Amino acid sequence: MDRVALRGLKARGHHGVFPREREEGQTFIVDLVLGLDTRPAAADDDLAKTVHYGIVAEEVVAVVEGEPVNLIETLAERIAQACLKHEGVQEVEVTVHKPDAPITVPFDDVTVTITRSRV
């Protein structure tokens, strides 16, 4: 299976279990790896035969900016399901970064990574 990756998609969301997170929001960063067969697109040099990663990026940002959830696990699942709606995408790996998580000790990042497929 071939891979198309989008890394560092940024959007402001209001996800989290604490009132401050819901009220103020924060930046979330999303990395995607889409699994699909790119051979038909490459053979015909045809965008319609692959995934339009620009559209996927817009849809993922809309999910992050959309309805708040408590957990980034839930957010990752919603993103994965949005990606799998694209016909050619057979598998997706989603990493959601929450670099401004409300943690009281020094840290660089918090991430959740999930892999989902059509199977």
Task: Tell me the torsion sign for CA atoms 19, 103, 82, 9.
Answer: positive
pLDDT tens profile 36-51: 999 999 999 999 999 9
Q: What is the pTM of this model?
A: 0.95
Predicted pLDDT of residue 119: 74
* Structural domains for the chain: 2-117 (3.30.1130.10)
In this structure, are residues 109 and 97 in contact, taking their beta carbons and an 8 Å threshold?
yes
Does residue 26 sit in helix, strand or coil? strand
> H-helix or E-strand containing 35?
strand 26-36
Query: Which residue ranges in the chain fall short of pLDDT 50?
Result: none
**Catalytic position from the list 10, 49, 85, 98:** 98
10 catalytic? Reply is no
| Cβ density class 6-35: b for 16+ within 10 Å, e for less | beebebebbbbeeeebeeebbebbbbbbbb
pLDDT at 16: 96
Q: What is the mean pLDDT of the chain?
A: 97
pLDDT at 9: 98
What is the three-class DSSP state of 21?
helix
